Amino acid sequence: MTAPTHPETRIGHVHLKVADLDRAIAFYSGVLGFELQQRYGPGAAFLSAGGYHHHIGLNTWESRGGTPPPPGHTGLYHTAFLYPSRAALAEAVRRVTEAGIPLDGAADHGVSEAVYLRDPDGNGVELYRDRPRSDWPRDGDGHLAMINAPLDVAALLAEAEA
């Protein structure tokens, strides 16, 4: 039997193949607000929150001018960005809607609130915030009981810190 992963293990970053580096930077930096840390020649860039070396890597090494994979193929479903509060999530969603980027959906999972969209290359993006663990829904046996209810995006946007 394999030993379980250490409970403090975290996913450190995502590295995405993109068709147009400047367009991808404009989305992840200009809309979502991640800071450009470094351009690596003409084909790659590294962005982060809070000055970390990178949370997002973007490159065109094998994908310059490429198209998204067609539906029904394997690949990345979405990258999820965790915001520290409902107000911070609301601010990010406000920037997305003001940029004219359509939302694919929004859900209240009981444990979290999430908004779904696509980046310019068709990659799925989830913007979410977790509720405190003490508020997570549980069944009668104490097991996690996540839900998939609609999220009131208008009420969320009313909390933006703009």
For residue 162, what pLDDT band results from cuts at 50, 70 and 90?
low
Look at 74 and 115; give whichever has higher pLDDT.
Answer: 115
State both tokens at 145.
């009981």
- Domain residues of the chain, as ranges? 12-64, 78-162
For 78-162, CATH gives: 3.10.180.10
- Work out the mean pLDDT of the chain and round it to a whole number: 94
| Residue 67 to residue 65: CA distance in whole angstroms | 7
Q: What is the pTM of this model?
A: 0.92
For 12-64, CATH gives: 3.10.180.10
Q: Is the pLDDT reported for residue 15 higher than 90? A: yes
State both tokens at 32.
């979502």
